[in-house]
Structure 1
């Protein structure tokens, strides 16, 4: 045995002896432990169920005198606090950001929808870390948190698997998310995510997203309650109904068949009368006149009336069915004994009813988004598709205006209550006095987060993750629950959305006259005056003119000047300036594709968001695929961008290469090779040569096999873009819905081997 080893052994024995001789360490003192402690919510803190529907005007639901039966919402209104002076921002993303952060939208950079950001402060659509959401605050305060449905809060350039994920729902404070990320989605084949992972909807007959969301919410609540029955939850339930597309089960569509044959003028009058009968609006309120651009119902042809009524039936059925699914969620809470300890805050709409469908409506929302028009004859041929997954319907502007009774205008118009006024009910057993009294305090969507914190007893933090927090702009409505006629605590509120703007102050409202119709937002031109200082203004005394029907601008010029000055001061301090067209300031927008003209894929890709996919709109491009085919030539999709409602696909149909351009609805273009391919390795290509360097351009379509042209054709138009609303970009199959009717999704997986797919963009002119 070596001496070094004996030496080490001796040293070790000595060390053990010293340790044995040392005094034992002191035991932890009483009350002290080494385990991390979990935050516990304040004693008696209620569960919170926050519900918000989409594009539902003040006068749509039966709880507010409207023609659409919403018995679940009505029941909550009978026992809870119902508000008639509650205001949103007039647009989707800004309302959602304000709702969850408790701040005005421009103060959290959400001055427009996430699809239309600009580089000006207040409009980037990137919610800052200095504005933690109510979900984050409650989670840190001892709550379990979950979100189901529509988010529409993540900047486009952060929507891919590359992240970052801090502005996805799970990064904004939700433990769990199940829903969709953009403005809308197909109810029958939704673009779903679970947390940060894309997931396919359940493969079952008659699938609808509204049913799925209720199932998921009930499942999550059951699991959460089983695991931690003493821990309260915060659930944000935002189904996305009744934004386009309007889809409902066949039996629900039948319930409304013929219900709107009298037209929007008559329905609006009937709603107005019912609102007075229910005491929802003052007895002396007047009904605002039909705005320019919306035709009188009696001026329509018989076919136009039939088509328009059918579109409204689908809208009504979708909202009624959504109400029933929300009822399932609430019934679960009742059945499990949790309802008595749950505060329900239900916003019926994130803005007023939409007019984005234009005077005659759209079978496909994508047509309206792109500023195109649909062929009336084709619309009539597709009338039975309305309300089903074969259409992406957006009803005529007249119905959006009618659903906002008694107010003027509609969604996008932040200068008038038709764009901003929505129904609100807060139901909380044992905490609402005099539920039969309609609350008339002037309120704003930013008030909801402070209201929830007041109810839960969780304090608003001064800092989150070391970041100092912006003060809330919202004012808690808790004071209105037990004092229904208490004086309003909100004296001022500033508004701006899509260049429509205004200011509320102590019962007065001054705002701009809308300068364009809602359906023109895709085609408008930039302004000569980006700050909009020479716009026409209107003035209303809301204390005596509930529904903005008497413009006092000419009669009281001094009051108008006072409010105008206040508006510009508020606009400057709330990141609203410059008021601008979304095309101004768009330069330099973040993108994953900067400087890229070649995109190479060597493995299957599923639902890559449009913002991360090859930007082919308005460009000539070539798709090249190196493949090995089995006997028979193979079949399936090599590349698909988009789906049934617009895009393009390169695929094999029974061994024959095919290239399909889907420009929405009847505008379908395809070239297909005459001969089947033999087995083995092949180099395939599809090429589109655009006529003009602009979105929607027509162009030549070519197919090549092993360098030889095998087919040529033409597309009179192409798709403009914005595919992430419904689908995405796929390699090796087509998910959700097919671009081409030649294949279905279930059979779209490519049967050969893909070595690589390369998309090459021609140089921009």
Structure 2
């Protein structure tokens, strides 16, 4: 991690507006809305946040994807064509829910790292109210469904401090996945309010987008049954369309053949619609589609027929998943109309960052083998395990589209999620409030003034007439960085009040100021390599002006530097390995654990600390009788995992190598008490030998299987049944979750030594704290 020697002499420059923080966030400031609270007739507020959705993926922004309900909101409401997020999901969610810049809100990165720096706290600070807390203090009911991703992954398990969980951060009700993503057919762990949802076998036809919509409507109906007038705030944070990308069969069929023309042709068509719709001025240039400008995307006409069929199928699934999000919105809208509350509901639809290129050049049918970023992967590692074309998009495949489709999704911009170029941060935004912000005749609703994700919270509070609390937990709250933009909606001639904004992600830097933007994507320590763009005239960042205007570059770079100090951006990531540092408080998660039948599925990260990049032993204690059968232990899902079970008088093991099942079987032991032990021995080149014994007798084994790395196994450990996504699909079709009905006493995991290639570094935080005090 790299950090300058110290802040500049004048570090007061406020990143959002160019003045001091005290001047521009004072309650007497003209930027601050008048103090108001909820009153009779206050509007409901719904924020629909779609995960990894590109700028052009909705029909009001140029897409061919069928999104009539978003289109209807845009037709009667407002489209922001110059709205920006951060490059990644957790930082954007923290900024959206607090109004603070992401580093000040504790999220310089996604909530899967914990290196110990102030900007990487991975929890919203105690003296920062969330949007939910502000609305609740203003008299609103507060509901959330979907993805949270604002709690450090080491504090997602059932024994953790829940101070950063949704219910503790202002939501009356919550249902969803607190992790970064999940399967849409078999979610790996759902939380209801403040604990795990009951373990279940997901029924045929279950689809998470629909299930979350069911829950949201139930929450609204529950409120109305008890209080007919109380306004509500609903934060609907979709798991879609983050990978693994999955969709319902009927929706996929709707898009069959739609993408056979390829990504270049489809991108040209989207851009034509964007120009015709007034999203960009005539003469605006689109970013290039050559391999150099797309990080390797090949021309469509150079692909083989087999590649084109596979790649088009991936995009058909993605389009179907977006379509399902619009169907979900439609159900909400129609329900609001049914209960007579649509006109007085503010609805926002947006994305947390640009579309992602993480599927790689060729896409993947084995998301978790692609989603591994460890040095030293063996040469034969397979990032795209072959699967039948007809399975893509369904529950058996964890897939993601090729990078060329992300280039389409981000039309007309360059690059992807994680980048500070426009493709990573320039996202769609729609706002509708028929009763409070009706469009005037002749107004297209298109607004091209700059807005940033930190502006959402102050805008919604101002529109609803709700104060942000002055204190939280008896402490004065931190000031916000965002500024309300309601004036832009009411009068399209008004200028943006958000005049400047820094951005930083994994060492990549950027700064916007008064229509210009600088970007430096080079690693910290490589010297300044700033690019300069006039994004008012060149929103797709096609022409670098740095060489022609070095004075502007130098001035804006100095402004970025001041803003970085003010917002706890330093130290910068100069080596991704630095993010492998974990605090010693996590050591307890790697101690042996005993799990009894009936225990809720062990959380993903808690499970991973027992098994990842190390040897480990699983000890199952049985009181076996003839005929006893069922799952002894399962860890993982169709994306990768293992399941040990008894069936038809045999002890059986299925190891799912990122979609490729490997099976072994042997005889069950005789009746009576027995310990079945499965030893996973770490080998060179990230493989395991698996040896299963009953007592001292070897029953079965598998040799040199590829280790499950990165986010796999994604579903945590379950004892006595196979929770969530099944490890073995054939077993799932035969027996469902296959509960072990009697004779399974307990299972104990005993972690062994870490493998030499395990990059994790434990920082002894208690010792460091003691030394600091001494």
Fold match by TM threshold 0.5: yes
Say whether the 8 Å CA contact 2:366–2:383 is kept in structure 1.
Answer: no
Corresponding residue of 1:701: 690
Q: TM-score, normalised by structure 2?
A: 0.87
Distance 1:196 1:679 in 2: 42
Question: What secondary structure, in the 3-state scheme, does the structure 2 residue paired with 1:546 have?
Answer: coil
Of 403, 413, 416 in structure 2, the residue corresponding to residue 410 of structure 1 is 416
Q: Give the Å deviation of 1:747.
A: 4.3
The 5 Å alignment of 1:352-751 reads 352-371=354-373, 379=386, 381-414=387-420, 416-430=421-435, 431-434=437-440, 435-513=443-521, 531-532=524-525, 534-580=527-573, 581-584=575-578, 586-589=580-583, 591-594=585-588, 596-613=590-607, 614-632=609-627, 634-666=628-660, 668-673=661-666, 675-692=667-684, 697-723=686-712, 726-741=714-729, 743-744=731-732, 746-751=736-741
Of 79, 84, 88 in structure 2, the residue corresponding to residue 87 of structure 1 is 84
Q: Give the Å deviation of 1:590.
A: 5.6
Distance 1:472 1:677 in 2: 65
Q: Give the Å deviation of 1:624.
A: 1.4
Query: What are structure 2's unaligned runs of at least 5 residues?
Result: 1-35, 757-774
Q: Give the Å deviation of 1:421.
A: 0.8
Say whether the 8 Å CA contact 1:630–1:752 is kept in structure 2.
Answer: no
Distance 2:617 2:200 in 1: 32
Say whether the 8 Å CA contact 2:369–2:382 is kept in structure 1.
Answer: no
Summarize deviations over 1:686-728 as a string: whole Å, max 9, x none: 1111113xxx72132211112222333303312014247x421
Corresponding residue of 2:329: 326
Q: Give the Å deviation of 1:202.
A: 7.5
Say whether the 8 Å CA contact 2:262–2:300 is kept in structure 1.
Answer: yes
Question: What secondary structure, in the 3-state scheme, does the structure 2 residue paired with 1:413 have?
Answer: coil
Say whether the 8 Å CA contact 1:117–1:582 is kept in structure 2.
Answer: no
Question: What secondary structure, in the 3-state scheme, does the structure 2 residue paired with 1:710 have?
Answer: strand
Distance 1:130 1:273 in 2: 47
Taking a change above 3 Å as real, the CA distance of residues 378 and 641 of structure 1, as seen in their structure-2 partners, is: closer
Taking a change above 3 Å as real, the CA distance of residues 643 and 203 of structure 1, as seen in their structure-2 partners, is: closer
Say whether the 8 Å CA contact 1:447–1:475 is kept in structure 2.
Answer: yes
Say whether the 8 Å CA contact 1:662–1:719 is kept in structure 2.
Answer: no
Say whether the 8 Å CA contact 2:371–2:710 is kept in structure 1.
Answer: no
Larger radius of gyration: 1
Corresponding residue of 1:130: 127
Corresponding residue of 2:752: 762
Question: What secondary structure, in the 3-state scheme, does the structure 1 residue paired with 2:556 have?
Answer: helix
Distance 1:376 1:612 in 2: 25
Taking a change above 3 Å as real, the CA distance of residues 549 and 657 of structure 1, as seen in their structure-2 partners, is: same
Question: What secondary structure, in the 3-state scheme, does the structure 1 residue paired with 2:343 have?
Answer: helix
Taking a change above 3 Å as real, the CA distance of residues 332 and 602 of structure 1, as seen in their structure-2 partners, is: closer
Corresponding residue of 1:5: none
Corresponding residue of 2:204: 205
Taking a change above 3 Å as real, the CA distance of residues 417 and 679 of structure 1, as seen in their structure-2 partners, is: same
Taking a change above 3 Å as real, the CA distance of residues 181 and 70 of structure 1, as seen in their structure-2 partners, is: same
Q: How many residues in Structure 1 have an aligned counterpart in Structure 2?
A: 702
Deviates most, 732-741 or 388-397 = 732-741
Question: What secondary structure, in the 3-state scheme, does the structure 2 residue paired with 1:743 have?
Answer: helix
Q: TM-score, normalised by structure 1?
A: 0.88
Say whether the 8 Å CA contact 1:669–1:715 is kept in structure 2.
Answer: no
Summarize deviations over 1:621-661 as a string: whole Å, max 9, x none: 221122111223x2222222222211223322333223333
Q: Give the Å deviation of 1:454.
A: 0.2
Summarize deviations over 1:343-373 as a string: whole Å, max 9, x none: 11221x2111110000000112212211478
Distance 1:747 1:734 in 2: 5
Corresponding residue of 2:248: 249
Q: Give the Å deviation of 1:237.
A: 0.9
Distance 1:126 1:378 in 2: 36
Say whether the 8 Å CA contact 1:532–1:579 is kept in structure 2.
Answer: no
Summarize deviations over 1:481-522 as a string: whole Å, max 9, x none: 211121110111010113222000111100113x5xxxxxxx
Distance 1:374 1:297 in 2: 26
Q: Give the Å deviation of 1:118.
A: 2.3
Distance 1:453 1:378 in 2: 48
Distance 1:252 1:747 in 2: 27
Q: Give the Å deviation of 1:197.
A: 2.1
Say whether the 8 Å CA contact 1:361–1:397 is kept in structure 2.
Answer: yes
Corresponding residue of 1:42: 39
Say whether the 8 Å CA contact 1:432–1:481 is kept in structure 2.
Answer: no
Taking a change above 3 Å as real, the CA distance of residues 650 and 611 of structure 1, as seen in their structure-2 partners, is: same
Query: What are structure 1's unaligned runs of at least 5 residues?
Result: 1-38, 516-526
Distance 1:587 1:361 in 2: 30
Q: Give the Å deviation of 1:239.
A: 1.6
Query: Whose RCO is larger (CA < 8 A, sep 6+)?
Result: 2
Question: What secondary structure, in the 3-state scheme, does the structure 2 residue paired with 1:311 have?
Answer: helix
Say whether the 8 Å CA contact 2:76–2:445 is kept in structure 1.
Answer: no
Q: Give the Å deviation of 1:595.
A: 7.9
2:352 aligned with 1:350: yes
Distance 1:251 1:720 in 2: 33
Say whether the 8 Å CA contact 2:398–2:638 is kept in structure 1.
Answer: no
Distance 1:573 1:66 in 2: 39
Distance 1:185 1:145 in 2: 24
Distance 2:85 2:72 in 1: 23
Q: Give the Å deviation of 1:596.
A: 4.5
Distance 2:117 2:753 in 1: 29
Corresponding residue of 2:75: 78
Distance 2:113 2:418 in 1: 13
Say whether the 8 Å CA contact 1:158–1:164 is kept in structure 2.
Answer: yes
Q: Give the Å deviation of 1:671.
A: 3.2
Summarize deviations over 1:400-445 as a string: whole Å, max 9, x none: 011111111111102x111111111111113244451411110001
Corresponding residue of 2:8: none
Corresponding residue of 1:196: 194
The 5 Å alignment of 1:177-196 reads 177-190=174-187, 191-196=189-194
